[in-house]
């Protein structure tokens, strides 16, 4: 069989694409591939991508053509591209845009391109959501099925473009201010403006709804606020926690000409419903037990919202998906830094909130200087002798923790601290006992879930003001929006293969730095354990964004710390 060794790709029948890491065109290839395929694995020699229906539609939504993709695959494949892959690309990209939902005289219709096969009509589940056939390629559908139909059709390989528009909403005059409360001049950044334009004019599955994908610290709140100012309507904002509710409220009051009495918090301790209302996912999904209803879901229909903002949309809980399915007549804006979920429900986010309508890769923002340049290091450390015995004798479910708490990690933490002396360093980990032990040895404070607010604030402030250089934090780092930024982050343990957590933690050093604008992210991993496997998966999202981990293998009895200083 013809096999060209100079080419970079191997393509399998199931849509998996292997990219040779040492190929001279690796970087260029990676950039091309992530436009239409998902990164699945990153072992040392080949990175595996997967071409899926969703990844192809996303490419189509962002303006890519089937021909370009086929051309790219054919040009760079070591051998002949499997026919099944060519067909999938052809079929899915061509299907995109051929099915539409339209509104005529208050009724909803689905219109299909009749030059294509109408096999979707044969599907029982899809049929049950339709009302009647008007003529070939035109079906009437029940209004209440608008969301669920899109979801079902999408999952079966038929993306529908929703052009039925939105219900009338209550108007609310909002404009941006030029000067903030602290007297600073304020203007919106170009990319934030572009994101909102893309959202309002999105021509993908939903016109006028969608997900904006921006790195941590790129000012996603401002994107939401600018969208509000453009739309001039009443807004419901859903976010992940109470600190974030307060932050939205503060930002809106600071950046907009609007009376604070028009902004309401709808949380456990304060249930206001105002023209701008901010709430949490957890309140919405609260119910006493499975026999009771979600009593706060009615917030969705309590006013004529013109826009619903889903902050951190990747965290969207299952019951809110269901509610969102019924909300297709309200404009929706999703905001996220990491549109990935380990439960695979990102397709649901696409089909119910909206497709990705704007994206700025982390590395692009770095190049523009809006975020710091981060060097990622993975330090692979041998298990200590005691832990090694324990590890091999223990059942699988305990191995992750033993590897995470590997006592050899401590000496490498100390070496890294020594190497970055006088810089601001966050040590982040998963297990409280481990963190407390580290805190003990380093004589540094630790903050975890049970630390009260005064303690947290006191340490955060000391850290911000430079009175404190080392701060140890638990999983609070995944949630706390007020956790101060640092120059160096050391991850000592983490939860299984969470790509989101890895990205979140790297985000802790992204704020631009004075001088060379450089920061470091270290991930300490026990060599040849489940932790090493998990860490590969954790890194996938960041590798997709263009980060590379420089890997150092070290053994437990090494006495010199030179490996860090080269």
Positions that interact with DNA (CB under 7 A): 241-243, 267-269, 280, 282-283, 285-290, 295-296, 317-318, 396-398, 400-401, 430-433, 448-450, 474-476, 479-480, 495-497
Give least dist CB 53 to DNA, A. 25
Cβ 528 to DNA, closest distance in Å?
A: 17
Query: Which residue's structure tokens are 């038929």?
Result: 158
Q: How far is the CB of 477 from DNA (least distance, A)?
A: 8
CA distances 530 to 176, 210, 398, Å, are 50, 37, 10
Q: How far is the CB of 537 from DNA (least distance, A)?
A: 9
Angle, in degrees to the nearest 10, between helices 220-231 and 242-255 = 50
d(CA 212, CA 224): 10
Q: Shortest approach of DNA to residue 227 CB, angstroms?
A: 24
387, two tokens: 């832990």
Q: For the chain, give me the number of helices (H) and strands (E)?
A: 21, 24
Rounded Cα distance, 103 and 137, in Å: 15
Rank residues 338 and 487 by Cβ distance to DNA and give the closer one: 338
When the beta carbons of 449 and 466 are compared against DNA, the nearer one is 449
Q: Which is nearer to DNA, 192 or 529 (CB)?
A: 529
CB of 249 to DNA, least distance (A): 14
User: Cβ closer to DNA: 186 or 398?
Assistant: 398
The nearest distance, CB 451 to DNA, in angstroms, is 8
**Phi, psi (deg, nearest 5) at residue 188:** -75, 145
Q: Which is nearer to DNA, 156 or 287 (CB)?
A: 287
* Matching residue, tokens 């706390």: 480
CA–CA gap between residue 30 and residue 19 (Å, rounded)? 8
- Among all chains, which residue has been given the structure tokens 């105002």? 274
Q: What is the DSSP string of 515-550?
A: TT-EEEEEEEEETTSHHHHHHHHHHHHHHHTT--EE
User: Judged by CB, which is closer to DNA: 98, or 495?
Assistant: 495
Alpha carbon of 498 to those of 38, 197, 355, 478, 525: distances in Å?
Answer: 16, 32, 23, 11, 14
- Of the chain, the end-to-end C-alpha distance in Å amounts to 46
d(CA 383, CA 363): 34
Shorter beta-carbon distance to DNA: residue 268 or 369: 268
Q: Report H helices in 256-334.
A: 281-284, 318-325
Nearest residue (CB) to DNA, 270 versus 301:
270
Beta carbon of residue 198, minimum distance to DNA (angstroms, whole number): 30
Least Å from the CB of residue 534 to DNA:
7
Least distance from DNA to the Cβ atom of residue 279, Å: 7
345 and 368 Cβ atoms separated by less than 8 Å: no
Q: Work out the angle at residue 266's Cα, subtended by the Cα atoms of residues 457 and 455, and round it to the nearest 5 degrees.
A: 10
- Of 285 and 347, which has the nearer Cβ to DNA? 285
Nearer to DNA, 231 or 483 (CB): 483
């Amino acid at each position: 069989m013809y096999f060209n060794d100079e080419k970079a790709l191997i393509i399998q029948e199931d849509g998996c694409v292997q990219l040779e890491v040492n190929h001279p065109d690796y970087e260029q290839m990676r950039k091309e591939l992530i436009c239409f395929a998902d990164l699945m694995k990153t072992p040392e020699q080949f990175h595996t991508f997967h071409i899926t229906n969703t990844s192809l539609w996303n490419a189509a939504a962002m303006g890519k053509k089937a021909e370009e993709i086929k051309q790219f695959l054919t040009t760079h494949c070591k051998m002949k591209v499997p026919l099944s892959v060519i067909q999938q690309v052809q079929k899915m990209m061509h299907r995109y845009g051929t099915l539409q939902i339209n509104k005529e005289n208050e009724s909803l219709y689905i219109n299909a391109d009749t030059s294509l096969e109408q096999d979707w009509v044969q599907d029982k589940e899809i049929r049950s959501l339709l009302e009647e056939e008007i003529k070939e390629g035109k079906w009437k559908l029940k209004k209440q099925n608008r969301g669920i139909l899109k979801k079902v059709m999408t999952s079966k390989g038929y993306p529908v473009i929703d052009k039925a528009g939105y219900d009338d909403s209550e108007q609310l005059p909002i404009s941006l201010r030029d000067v903030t409360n602290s007297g600073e001049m304020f203007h919106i950044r170009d990319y934030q403006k572009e994101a909102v334009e893309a959202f309002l004019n999105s021509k993908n599955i939903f016109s006028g709804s969608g997900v904006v994908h921006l790195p941590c610290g790129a000012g996603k709140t401002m994107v939401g606020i600018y969208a509000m100012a453009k739309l001039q309507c009443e807004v419901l904002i859903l976010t992940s926690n109470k600190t974030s509710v307060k932050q939205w409220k503060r930002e809106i009051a600071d950046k907009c000409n609007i009376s604070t009495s028009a902004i309401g918090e709808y949380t456990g301790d304060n249930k206001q419903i105002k023209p701008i209302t901010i709430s949490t996912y957890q309140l919405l999904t609260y119910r006493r037990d499975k026999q009771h209803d979600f009593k706060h879901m009615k917030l969705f229909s309590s006013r004529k919202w013109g826009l619903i903002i889903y902050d951190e949309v990747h965290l969207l809980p299952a019951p809110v998906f269901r509610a969102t399915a019924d909300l297709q007549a309200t404009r929706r804006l999703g905001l996220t830094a990491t549109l990935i979920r380990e439960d695979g429900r990102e397709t649901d986010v696409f089909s119910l909130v909206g497709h990705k309508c704007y994206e700025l890769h982390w590395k692009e923002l770095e190049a523009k200087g809006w975020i710091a340049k981060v060097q990622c290091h993975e330090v692979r450390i041998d298990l200590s002798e005691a832990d090694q015995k324990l590890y091999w004798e223990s059942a699988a479910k305990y191995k992750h923790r033993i590897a995470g708490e590997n006592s050899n990690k401590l000496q490498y933490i100390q070496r890294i601290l020594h190497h970055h002396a006088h810089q601001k360093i966050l040590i982040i980990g998963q297990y409280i006992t481990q963190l407390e032990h580290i805190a003990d040895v380093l004589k540094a404070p630790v903050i975890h879930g049970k630390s009260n607010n005064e303690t947290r604030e006191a340490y955060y402030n000391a850290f911000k003001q430079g009175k404190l250089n080392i701060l140890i934090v638990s999983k609070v780092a995944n949630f706390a929006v007020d956790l101060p930024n640092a120059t160096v982050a050391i991850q000592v343990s983490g939860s299984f293969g969470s790509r989101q957590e890895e990205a979140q933690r790297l985000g802790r050093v992204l704020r631009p730095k004075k001088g060379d604008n450089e920061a470091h992210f270290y991930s300490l991993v026990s060599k040849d354990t489940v932790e090493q496997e998990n860490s590969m998966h954790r890194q996938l999202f960041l590798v997709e964004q263009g980060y590379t981990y420089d890997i150092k293998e070290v053994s437990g009895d090494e006495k010199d710390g030179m490996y860090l200083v080269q």
